[in-house]
Amino acid sequence: PKSTHLTDYTSPAWRVPKVSLCFELEPEETRVTAMLCVEHVDGHPQRDLVLFGEELVLESLSQNGEPLDSQYYELTKDGLVIRDLDESCELEIVTRIHPKRNTALSGLYISEGHFCTQCEAEGFRRITYFPDRPDVLSVYDVRIEADEKRYPVLLSNGNPVAQGELDNGRHFAHWHDPFPKPSYLFALVAGDLACHSDQFVTASGRTVDLRLYVQAHNLDQCSFAMQALKKSMRWDEQAFGREYDLDIFMIVAVDDFNMGAMENKGLNIFNSKCVLASPQTATDDDFIMIESIIAHEYFHNWSGNRVTCRDWFQLSLKEGLTVFRDQEFTADQTLPGVKRIQDVQRLRNLQFPEDAGPMSHPVRPQSYLEINNFYTMTIYEKGAEVVRMLQTLLGASLFRRGLDLYFDRHDGQAVTTDDFVKALEDASGRDLSLFRRWYDQAGTPVLEIQEGFDDSASEYHLSLRQHCPSTPGQDVKMPLHIPVSVALFAASGEKIPCGADAAIETTLELTEQQQTFVFKDVHEPPVLSLLRGFSAPVIVRDQHRPETLAFLMQHEDDAFSRWEAGQRFALNILLAWVADCQNDRQLLLDPRFSQAFAALLKDAQSHPALVAETMTLPSESYLGDQLSTIDVEAVHMARCTLMQQLGQQCFSTMVEIYEKTQGIAGFDALALGQRRLHNLCLTYLCASGESEAQDRALQHYHHAPDMTHTMGALRALIAQPGEVIHQCLGDFEQRWKDQPLVLDKWFSLQAMAPWPDSLERVQDLMRHPGFSLRNPNRVRAVLGSFTMANPLGFHAIDGQAYAFMAELILELDAINPQIAARLAGCFSRWRRFDAVRQNGQQQALQRILAQPSVSRDLYEIASRSLG
Ligand code: B3K
Ligand code: ZN
């Protein structure tokens, strides 16, 4: 397979200002008649019209109503090349496609009897021959014809124009989208769907119809998503001055979907998992996730749709920016500090390892084989961090001015990340040329610090040094422009002025490999608070002593930094314990940590959410990342033992907190935090091993008023196999076996359970009548959870899980390459393990690559992982 390079980009030779599509829908075979107005770009050296196409049957082709003679076109393996067209003409292309056979879920396919589409990144070429690239923008007219009984609802982008009856029980609908858009934003839905509707009045007073389409039996799970949509629409007006632009905004929920959701213009299509929710079926975390995805897709209407990407190398232009926007939205709805902590955790647990492994790539990659493999943590989460740093450097108001200029200047265009940075430069007057390196340089920078205090001069000196480990294809790294927010604490816990105008917090700008910053008028050796709010996506190397960490846990006023002090403290202990496990030493808890932990619990009443985050120990995968060789058993043992000891030592306090946070209702930040704490205390109580705790958990399960509590009990119990958890799991299955989205929680929990015989259990789950390899949610629930969240099971030393997964991934590849490729990411960290596990994973990757029919998606992941 051939890779695509950023440096090979050339602008399109042909424009397609207008497209009319007519779909004659039938599951087995659908006819698509496409009418393209094409115009050659004056002076463009390329004269041939190159159209992409995949899995299409060409029925006919004509220019201005005249059939094209076969000497003027050529069918290639990637599509269709047409020669000697008039400079400007109308091209009619009739193709046939096979929605029912489309198990890849890209292009037009069927989910639960409904037609739906997924065109990003390159699915439109599976619908018709087209210049399927994001820099070709067209106005779409879409006519859909289908059987009226089976498909009463017919939807596409834009505004509805007409609908009516046809012969033979068929009907049609006609949609027009006045905003020029790239083909990846095209969407069509047809089916027997129920509708939950509402309205929204925009800031300028236009009324927009809002519609949420779901299967009739899910109509009672729509109201939360609708509220979230309205909140998002209002928030984007208030926070960013962005108003909605069509007369109607639709969301459709489908059960079979490769990812979370898709921002098609005016017609967002969602994985039903990311829409449907009621307190009975969804946890607090589900609700928060749903709200943020609704917001994310809605925000794309400006950051992605009105202003889109020139090519797929610019993907983070829309994704990084939109993640940043949805993070800001959620922060505004809840507690900003807690939201920041969660985002940092996500980045560290998922993006840092990606950037430290064989799949590492810059926020703007240089090349790819299959673009669908590049919807990564780096593009999304690191991309959002890059935007956040820009905001930090410019300050909120200049940043906002820059964004306004960006949207204004590029409305209706397909642009690059450079255009984005340029708009920020022009609006702020700042030079961001050095900053641009963040887009091109892969890897997580490491900051090293050195402190000095000059008593006689009353000066505190802080030296910062940056370096970035080399990444595949990038050996030489340049210094980056890194905003480092700092504050200084006096021993009293008061902050010492350290910035201009005696500010108590300041942002240092590190632009060289090493710089020393001098703080004057500092009269005692201060305690440094570094990288407040996690002001840059970097790793800080320092040797914080336990006393300093305990001090910061107590006095920090920046939520992230306070949490961070607790995490570091726990991390130091856990890492020492991993070594102790490996050397058969006893695991003895540093009393300073128990004290700090106990002190933390005192704040449970006032800051439940923050305390809950701080009580949550670093994940096993993050711990593994800190070791030179990942030792899954020792890591698991160390972490479980710390939970056990903390549970034992703080048992009565936790019981107290648990009881005080019982029966909390409501969805405000306080209630969310209290419920989180409630469940977490139960987990610690169970971890203590006291039998009383198990009884409590069983009661908790049986009296759970909602799914948040139900899952709280199951999660607390899952750490230990036994009678109680099996009883609860059996009950859960009976209760929810007909609700696939809820049953996924049951699948996932068991696939993650760190019990012996994990592989057999996973194989059993796959034989469950509710499981199917064809449904991405089921695959993620069972196999995604097993490979990503059950290190003990997946990395079992006998290597059986590796071999099993290799075969399964190949089986899946024949059904759905995107899902197979995602899953294959489980082998990408193989070099980080011991020799036996390295060998097992290498063999799995080689087995995958030995398959002659392997897809491009899977080939790219497996071959890059193997290195
Ligand atoms: N833009 C889509 C992701 C498309 C993934 C294609 N493989 C959803 C989102 O990020 O909003
Ligand atoms: Zn997105």
Q: Write the CB contacts of 494 (distance below 8 Å, at least 6 apart in sequence).
A: none
Cβ–ligand 1 distance for 372 under 6 Å, the answer yes
C-beta separation of 130 from 36 below 8 A: yes
Atom of ligand 1 nearest to the CA of 120: 6
Q: How far is the CA of 258 from the centre of ligand 1 (A)?
A: 9
Give the 3-state secondary structure of 778-818: HHHHHHHHHHHHCHHHHCCCCCHHHHHHHHHHHHHHHHCHH
Expressed in percent and rounded to 5, the helix, strand and coil fractions of the chain are 45, 20, 35
Q: How far is the CA of 379 from the centre of ligand 2 (A)?
A: 10
Average pLDDT over residues 39-55: 98
- pLDDT 10s digits, 736-789: 999 999 999 999 999 999 999 999 999 999 999 999 999 999 999 999 999 999
Of the candidates 174, 19, 23, 35, which has an alpha carbon nearest to the alpha carbon of residue 97?
23
| pLDDT confidence bin for 501, thresholds 50/70/90 | confident
Choose one of 185, 186, 232, 262 to mutate for the ligand 1 pocket test, by most ligand atoms within 8 angstroms of C-beta.
262
Q: How far is the CA of 323 from the centre of ligand 2 (A)?
A: 7
Q: Is the pLDDT of residue 502 over 90?
A: no
- pLDDT 10s digits, 467-493: 999 999 999 999 999 999 999 999 999
pTM: 0.99
Q: Is the pLDDT of residue 213 over 90?
A: yes
Q: Is the pLDDT of residue 310 over 90?
A: yes
H or E segment to which residue 319 belongs: helix 315-333
Cβ–ligand 1 distance for 319 under 6 Å, the answer yes
631-657 CB burial, b ≥16 within 10 A, e <16: bbebbbbbbbbbbbbbbbbbbebbbeb
Beta pairing partners, 262? 269
Neighbours of 713 (CB within 10 A): 26
Local structure of residue 526 (DSSP, 8 states) = P
The pLDDT of residue 386 is 99
**Protein residue whose Cα sits closest to atom 2 of ligand 1:** 262
Cβ–ligand 1 distance for 308 under 6 Å, the answer no
Joined tokens for residue 733: 């299955």
| pLDDT confidence bin for 500, thresholds 50/70/90 | confident
| pLDDT confidence bin for 499, thresholds 50/70/90 | confident
Cβ–ligand 1 distance for 384 under 6 Å, the answer no
**Protein residue whose Cα sits closest to atom 1 of ligand 1:** 262
Q: How far is the CA of 728 from the centre of ligand 2 (A)?
A: 37
CA 665 from centre of chain = 29
CB-facing half-sphere around the CA of 626: CA atoms within 13 A: 23
| pLDDT confidence bin for 154, thresholds 50/70/90 | very high
Residues with a catalytic annotation lie at 297
Ligand closest to CA 816: 1
Choose one of 117, 119, 263 to mutate for the ligand 1 pocket test, by most ligand atoms within 8 angstroms of C-beta.
263
Distance, CA of 322 to CA of 309 (rounded, Å): 13
377-390 CB burial, b ≥16 within 10 A, e <16: bbbbbbbbbbbbbb
167 by Cβ neighbours in 10 Å (0-12 / 13-18 / 19+) ranks as exposed
CA 286 from centre of chain = 14
Q: Write the CB contacts of 614 (distance below 8 Å, at least 6 apart in sequence).
A: 553, 562, 563, 566, 567, 600
Q: Is the pLDDT of residue 1 over 90?
A: no
**Protein residue whose Cα sits closest to atom 5 of ligand 1:** 120
ipTM confidence? 0.99
Q: Is the pLDDT of residue 179 over 90?
A: yes
| pLDDT confidence bin for 655, thresholds 50/70/90 | very high
Q: How far is the CA of 77 from the centre of ligand 2 (A)?
A: 30
Q: How far is the CA of 292 from the centre of ligand 1 (A)?
A: 14
**Protein residue whose Cα sits closest to atom 4 of ligand 1:** 120
| pLDDT confidence bin for 276, thresholds 50/70/90 | very high
Choose one of 301, 319, 860 to mutate for the ligand 1 pocket test, by most ligand atoms within 8 angstroms of C-beta.
319
C-beta separation of 553 from 569 below 8 A: yes
Cβ–ligand 1 distance for 335 under 6 Å, the answer no
Q: How far is the CA of 670 from the centre of ligand 1 (A)?
A: 32
* Paired sense of beta strands 79-82 and 73-75, if any: antiparallel
Cβ–ligand 1 distance for 297 under 6 Å, the answer yes
Local structure of residue 445 (DSSP, 8 states) = -
H or E segment to which residue 166 belongs: none
| pLDDT confidence bin for 364, thresholds 50/70/90 | very high
Local structure of residue 303 (DSSP, 8 states) = B
Ligand closest to CA 375: 1
C-beta separation of 196 from 212 below 8 A: yes
Q: How far is the CA of 840 from the centre of ligand 2 (A)?
A: 35
Question: What is the secondary structure of 59-100 as a DSSP string?
Answer: EEEEETTEEPPGGGEEE-SSEEEE-S--SEEEEEEEEEE-GG
Cβ–ligand 1 distance for 375 under 6 Å, the answer yes
- pLDDT 10s digits, 315-340: 999 999 999 999 999 999 999 999 99
Q: Is the pLDDT of residue 824 over 90?
A: yes
Joined tokens for residue 1: 């397979």
What sign results for the dihedral spanned by CA atoms 703, 682, 670, 292? negative
The pLDDT of residue 472 is 96
C-beta separation of 499 from 546 below 8 A: no
| pLDDT confidence bin for 159, thresholds 50/70/90 | very high
Cβ–ligand 1 distance for 355 under 6 Å, the answer no
118, 123, 126, 131: CA torsion to nearest 10:
130
Ligand closest to CA 370: 1
Backbone angles phi, psi at 733, to 5 degrees: -60, -45
Q: How far is the CA of 385 from the centre of ligand 2 (A)?
A: 15
Neighbours of 525 (CB within 10 A): 15
Distance, CA of 845 to CA of 838 (rounded, Å): 11
Atom of ligand 1 nearest to the CA of 260: 8
Helix spans in 360-479 (H): 377, 383-394, 396-410, 417-428, 437-440
Distance, CA of 619 to CA of 640 (rounded, Å): 11
Q: Is the pLDDT of residue 543 over 90?
A: no
Contacts 24+ apart (CB under 8 A), 468-474: 468/441, 468/443, 468/444, 469/356, 469/443, 469/444, 470/443, 471/355, 471/360, 471/361, 471/442, 471/443, 472/358, 472/360, 472/442, 472/864, 472/867, 473/366, 474/362, 474/441, 474/442, 474/443
Cβ–ligand 1 distance for 821 under 6 Å, the answer no
Cβ–ligand 1 distance for 296 under 6 Å, the answer yes
Cβ–ligand 1 distance for 262 under 6 Å, the answer yes
Average pLDDT over all residues of the chain: 98
Peptide bond into 121 cis (omega under 30): yes
- Residues written for the chain: 867
**Protein residue whose Cα sits closest to atom 3 of ligand 1:** 262
Cβ–ligand 1 distance for 121 under 6 Å, the answer yes
Ligand closest to CA 321: 2
**Protein residue whose Cα sits closest to atom 9 of ligand 1:** 262
Question: What is the secondary structure of 851-866 as a DSSP string?
Answer: -TT--HHHHHHHHHHH
Cβ–ligand 1 distance for 263 under 6 Å, the answer yes
